[in-house]
Structure 1
Amino acid sequence: MEERDAILFEAYLSGTLSAPEREELEQRLERDTGFRDAFGMFRETRGYLEAAYEKEAETEAFRETVRQASGAYFGNKNGQYSLHSPARRRIKPWQIAVAATVLVLLGIFFSPRIAAPSYGDYAHYPQISLAVRGDGDAVLQQAEQAFNTGDYAGAAASFERLPEEERSQPGIMLYHAISLVELEEYKRADGMFETLFTGASAFKYDAMWYGGLSLLKQDRKEACKTLLGQIPESSGHFAESRELLGKL
Structure 2
Amino acid sequence: MKKVLLGLAALLGTATVSASDNNLWEKSTLNEILNRGELQVCLEAGYMPFDMRDKKGNLVGFDVDIAKTMAKAMGVKVDLRNTAWDGIIPALLTAKCDIIISGMTITPERNLKVNFTDPYIVVGQTILLNPKLEGTVKNYRDLNDGKYTITTKLGATSDYATKKYMSKAKLNLFETESEAVLEVVNGNADAFIYDLPYNAIYSSQNADKIVHLDESFTYEPLGFAIRKGDPDFMNFLNNYLAQIKGDGTYDKLYNKWFVSDSWIKNVQ
Same fold? TM cut 0.5: no
Structure 1 or 2, whichever has the larger Rg, is 1
Higher RCO (C-alpha under 8 Å, 6+ residues apart): 2
Normalised to the residue count of structure 2, the TM-score between the two structures is 0.20
Normalised to the residue count of structure 1, the TM-score between the two structures is 0.21
